[in-house]
Amino acid sequence: MTAPQTPAEARRLVAAFLGDHDPAGPDALAFLQARFDAGLARPSWPEGLGGLGASSALNGPVDDAFAAAGAPDNRPHSNIIGLGMAAPTLLAFGTPEQQARWLRPLWTHEDVWCQLFSEPGAGSDLAAVATSAVRDGGDWVVNGQKVWTSLAHESRWALLLARTDPRAPKHRGLTYFVCDMDAPGVDVRPLRQLTGETEFNEVFLDGVRIPDDQRIGDVGAGWRVTQATLMNERVAIGGATPPREGGPIGTLAQHWREHPEDRTAGVHDEVLRLWVDAEALRLTSARLTQQLLAGQPGPEGSGAKLAYAQLAQRASAAELAVLGGEALRYDDWTARRPVVGDLAERTPGFRFLRAKANSIEGGTSEVLRNIIAERVLGLPGEPRTDRDTPWEDLPR
Amino acid sequence: MSLTAETPTTTDQDEDAGALPDLLYSEVEEDLRASVRALLAARSPWDAVLARTESDERTDTDLWARLGTELGVLGLPVAEDDGGAGASWREVAVVAEELGRAVAAVPFLGSAVTATAVLGRLGADELLTALAGGRSTVALAVPFGRLSGTAPQATCTRTGDAVSGGVRSVADARTADVLLVPTDDGALLQVSTDQPGVTRTPVVSLDETRPLVDLVLDGASGSVLATEAADAADAVAYGTTVAAAVLASEQLGVAEWCLQSSVSYLQDRRQFGRTLASHQALRHRCADLWVQVTQARAVARYAAACAAEDSADLAVAASLAQALCSDVAVRAAEECLQLHGGIGFTWEHPVHLYLKRATSSALALGSPHAHRSRLARLVDLPAPTDEEPA
Ligand SMILES: Cc1cc2nc3c(=O)[nH]c(=O)nc-3n(C[C@H](O)[C@H](O)[C@H](O)COP(=O)(O)OP(=O)(O)OC[C@H]3O[C@@H](n4cnc5c(N)ncnc54)[C@H](O)[C@@H]3O)c2cc1C
């Protein structure tokens, strides 16, 4: 099949597909699988892997056409790491066999994915991970502890960064794997967040065997693969282009319009500033997307995530200020697994607290500023002593 | 002075503008601080505070009793003749600072500050004596978010001595045995909580170390403290103004803990083969925070001194303190969380207790925005009348 060139062509393909597959049919999974096989999961993915090798500008229109027909979706909100990070990493670095094995159930939401990167001793300094992977015949045997692993309790597969050569300098001794979360030796323990919910986990890996065909990229090339995952993560968190007043400004603007009794001059100015900043971020993200389409990745990726975190934190704080005394109330502190969904459906207090993580998860705002300073602006980094020393000799 | 009047007070030419009160801590105040801090260290460590937020007993009644019996700090500003310590709001503020530093779950602000000031203003000596002696815990039945220095918007009605109605989001009332209830005819009544006509429904609160209740009174019997609307309004306005002034010190204590905790964590935590503290960017964040905390301290001390002296500048000092200290405490808690990284976002680390206390305290007694608007009137910097130029 030749790739569609225009949204109209893409919509015609969707219409033809819908003629053969009832979007209201009883088997949502079969529908999604058929959509994947027809290359209409993400038109920009390669043919045979859920796509048609088309421009990524057509992904949105295709999703919209399916949504307009009332078709079941693949619940993208609850598989952000799979769709936003694992899929692009597999497409860039996976073998054809690995892509064929994992992409379809990932996209259809049969398999949820998580990210086993951070460790107690390796957060911002991710290249310091201590979890070891040692070769044993056709397998690798993995031991270590990961932390802050979102959704590990729901995941079938994990992106895993582990150390395969402790004698090499830290960035060069790492290898990237896909870990089966159901494998013996994987122990997921809930960690509770300040919202009350247990959205993330610590994960203990005790003699976990990973077949070598689940290694992504070369042995020792894990840092390069990780960079690709992280860049995609930042775009996934900050780089979406919502409609005007989508995202963190939406609930604030809506409350302001609906509750004249809560309006004050002081907060009004802040609301307007936030509206302007939200629009600036939206348009910056749109430019970023257009640059990516035009094949000129711009420096705005880290910037968008940085600005998104600030906006989400300020807008949710302004919501509390608008509510005044009513914001002294919360909804529920009980420790429980969260239902990942639309933040707009949660209370302002929850949004305020949850937004605090936006400047930590996926690379802290400080680390993103370092990236912008060093990799975008070309400024020298701070002196480092840990680059060329074998990892095992570094102070810890 | 009338606290409810919203007329601007321009700088009084008769007063010596340079004659500021003592903004330092006296030796007596430092001793008081040391004893409160020691008690809190022994009786209210943060993990116990955290555990209490999920227990049935949200208020630390044991600590509350010890503050009364061991330290005698529940009636500090009450005259000795009335069973108090004959000290002033300055000492009260020092206690509040330490309670903030420990996010302690006691109804100090509601009972030992707000209610004490209201009762003192009305000369309600009997209840004041019981309160100062630790025999009674008293709460003002006004929504916690209501702007200080204003007359109450009464939501209860009175028929003789019987009171009915509801009050939403009342702080420090869970273990109170007496409520001070404003009624819509302008009176203020004292209502015992130990009667069937009083229902307190716990509210899931943003700050569970100072949890709220929704109050319902159904023909509850009370006794009148003030019948004249002007007296009741003045007492409530005064009491909440003093509370705003003292809350600033509590916020200062919260901010100080957050700064201290950030500084020590940055020195311990290593990434990239060095301590986090070795990054100038992070040291500067702490330095900026320190500057803000010093300002919060000066402003909070000034507010406490104005309350102690019943200064003509009290209303300004209280709103100034709330406008500034609210923001500093929230900022300090946010910085503390961010500088801790992932661990700061967890339930098992204390910083969220401080973030929630700081955020709630900022909204309590009027948000910083509301206090800035109040200042606009008090210092004659009126809001524009026409938003859009022709
Ligand atoms: C809600 C949430 C979900 C998460 N989900 C996942 C997940 O699914 N999988 C996963 O692997 N990880 C996850 N993380 C972990 C996250 O990536 C790390 O928390 C983050 O990278 C920071 O690491 P750290 O917590 O060790 O903080 P640290 O690295 O110790 O940082 C502490 C503070 O120091 C600052 N700092 C550190 N280095 C520098 C520097 N060189 N210059 C200036 N400032 C610096 C940081 O910005 C931060 O403010 C999650 C975190 C959160 C909060």
CATH code of the domain covering residue A252:
1.20.140
Q: What is the pLDDT of residues A334-373, one digit of tens each?
A: 999 988 777 888 899 999 999 999 999 999 999 999 999 9
Q: In the prediction, which pLDDT does A231 show? A: 84
Please name the helix (run of DSSP H) or strand (run of DSSP E) that holds residue A177, with its range, or none. strand A174-180
Q: Are residues A183 and A262 in the same domain?
A: no
CA angle B350, B355, B358 (to 5 degrees): 125
Show which of A15, A44, A73 is a domain's final residue.
Answer: A73
Ligand 1 centroid from CA B272, angstroms? 13
Q: What number is the average pLDDT over the span B29-54?
A: 98
For chain A, give the number of residues: 396
- Confirm whether A11 is domain-assigned: yes
B361 DSSP β-pair partners = none
- Residues in chain B closer than 8 A to A193 (CB atoms): 345-347
Q: Do A333 and B352 touch (CB under 8 A)?
A: no
- Confirm whether A246 is domain-assigned: yes
- Confirm whether A392 is domain-assigned: no
Q: In the prediction, which pLDDT does A343 show? A: 84
CB-defined site of ligand 1, < 6 Å: A 114-115, 117-118, 123-124, 148-150, 200, 357, 360-361, 363-364, 366-367, 370; B 269, 271-272, 276, 279, 281-282, 338-339, 341-342, 345
Q: Which of A233, A261, A326, A366 is catalytic?
A: A233
**Which of B367, B372, B386, B388 is the mutation pick for testing A, counting most A CBs within 10 A?**
B367
Residue percentage of chain B with pLDDT more than 70: 94
Which of A116, A118, A354, A387 has the most ligand 1 atoms within 8 A of CB, as the residue to mutate? A118
- Residues in chain A closer than 8 A to B327 (CB atoms): none
Q: Are residues A250 and A329 in the same domain?
A: yes
Q: Do A325 and B360 touch (CB under 8 A)?
A: no
Between B273, B369, B383, which is nearest A394 by CB?
B273
B212 φ/ψ angles, rounded to the nearest 5 degrees: -100, 165
Q: In the prediction, which pLDDT does B353 show? A: 98
Q: What number is the average pLDDT over the span A320-324?
A: 94
Q: Are residues A227 and A278 in the same domain?
A: no
Q: Are residues A216 and A325 in the same domain?
A: no
Q: What torsion do the CA atoms of A295, A298, A303, A308 make, to the nearest 10 degrees? A: -30
**Average pLDDT, rounded, for chain B:** 94
Q: What is the pLDDT of residues A131-144, one digit of tens each?
A: 999 999 999 999 99
Q: In the prediction, which pLDDT does B150 show? A: 97
Q: In the prediction, which pLDDT does A209 show? A: 98
- CA-wise closest residue to A330 among B188, B242, B202, B373: B202
The parent domain of residue A358 ranges over: 235-362
Q: What number is the average pLDDT over the span B54-67?
A: 97
Where are the extended beta strands (E) located within B239-344? 270-271, 274-275
> Is a pLDDT exceeding 80 seen at residue A392?
yes
Ligand 1 centroid from CA B342, angstroms? 5
Number of domains chain A contains: 3
Which of B269, B271, B285, B336 has the most ligand 1 atoms within 8 A of CB, as the residue to mutate? B271
Show which of A210, A233, A256 is a domain's final residue.
Answer: A233
Q: What number is the average pLDDT over the span B365-375?
A: 96
Contact A60, A91 (CB under 8 A): no
Q: Are residues A63 and A140 in the same domain?
A: no
Q: In the prediction, which pLDDT does A234 show? A: 78
Between B169, B337, B346, which is nearest A325 by CB?
B169
- Residue owning the nearest CA to atom 13 of ligand 1: A148
CATH number reported for the structural domain that contains residue A120 in this entry = 2.40.110.10
Q: What number is the average pLDDT over the span B76-92?
A: 96
Q: In the prediction, which pLDDT does B345 show? A: 98
3-state DSSP call for residue A21? coil
DSSP A111-136: S-EEEE--BTTBSSSGGG---EEEEE
Instruction: List the single residue in B with minimal CA-CA distance to A396.
Output: B273
Label residue B2 by pLDDT band (50, 70, 90). Answer: very low
Q: What number is the average pLDDT over the span A270-278?
A: 96
Q: Are residues A256 and A163 in the same domain?
A: no
Ligand 1 centroid from CA A367, angstroms? 9
- Confirm whether A248 is domain-assigned: yes
In angstroms, the CA A260 to CA A256 distance is: 7
- CA-wise closest residue to B89 among B318, B293, B268, B274: B318
Full-model pTM:
0.95
| Better pLDDT: A287 or A332 | A332
Q: Are residues A130 and A248 in the same domain?
A: no
- Residue owning the nearest CA to atom 23 of ligand 1: A123
Residue holding tokens 């590990």? A152
Q: Do A192 and B272 touch (CB under 8 A)?
A: no
- Confirm whether A96 is domain-assigned: no
Q: Do A324 and B145 touch (CB under 8 A)?
A: yes
- Confirm whether A240 is domain-assigned: yes
Ligand 1 centroid from CA B357, angstroms? 24
- Confirm whether A382 is domain-assigned: no
Q: What number is the average pLDDT over the span B303-320?
A: 98
Q: What is the pLDDT of residues A96-143, one digit of tens each?
A: 999 999 999 999 999 999 999 999 999 999 999 999 999 999 999 999
| Better pLDDT: A295 or B109 | B109
Ligand 1 atom index nearest CA of A357: 53
Q: What number is the average pLDDT over the span B320-330?
A: 98
Label residue B3 by pLDDT band (50, 70, 90). Answer: low
3-state DSSP call for residue A125? coil
Q: Cβ–Cβ contacts within 10 Å for residue B258, how many?
A: 29
B57 φ/ψ angles, rounded to the nearest 5 degrees: -100, 90
| Structure tokens given for B286 | 């702490």
> In this prediction, does ipTM exceed 0.90?
yes
Q: Are residues A228 and A262 in the same domain?
A: no
Ligand 1 centroid from CA B221, angstroms? 56
B190 DSSP β-pair partners = B180, B223
- Residues in chain A closer than 8 A to B346 (CB atoms): 191-194
In angstroms, the CA B213 to CA B176 distance is: 11
Contact B109, B96 (CB under 8 A): yes
| Structure tokens given for B283 | 């040291």
> Is a pLDDT exceeding 60 seen at residue B5?
no
**Which of A148, A194, A388 is the mutation pick for testing B, counting most B CBs within 10 A?**
A194
Looking only at Cα atoms, what is the longest distance across chain A? 71
Q: How far is CA A179 from CA A116, A141, A182, A214, A248, in A?
A: 9, 11, 9, 7, 34
Label residue B1 by pLDDT band (50, 70, 90). Answer: very low
Give per-residue burial for A62-78: e unless 16+ CB within 10 Å, then b.
Answer: bbebbeeeebbebeeeb
| Better pLDDT: B244 or A301 | B244
Ligand 1 centroid from CA A297, angstroms? 25
In angstroms, the CA A333 to CA B27 distance is: 42
DSSP state of A85: I
A319 assigned to active site: no
Q: Do B342 and A360 touch (CB under 8 A)?
A: yes
Between B54, B282, B360, which is nearest A328 by CB?
B360
Q: Are residues A183 and A249 in the same domain?
A: no
- Residues in chain A closer than 8 A to B338 (CB atoms): 356, 359-360, 364-365
Q: Are residues A68 and A158 in the same domain?
A: no
| Structure tokens given for B343 | 């661990």
Q: Are residues A225 and A312 in the same domain?
A: no
**Which of B204, B284, B322 is the mutation pick for testing A, counting most A CBs within 10 A?**
B204
- Confirm whether A91 is domain-assigned: no
Show which of A204, A233, A262 is a domain's final residue.
Answer: A233
CA–CA min distance B70, chain A (Å): 32
In angstroms, the CA B328 to CA B370 distance is: 16
Q: What is the pLDDT of residues B119-148, one digit of tens each?
A: 999 999 999 999 999 999 999 999 999 999
CA–CA min distance A173, chain B (Å): 16
Q: What is the pLDDT of residues A37-96, one digit of tens each?
A: 999 999 999 999 999 999 888 998 999 999 999 999 999 888 999 999 999 999 999 999
Domains of chain B plus CATH, in order, are 22-136 (1.10.540.10), 156-229 (2.40.110.10), 233-378 (1.20.140.10)
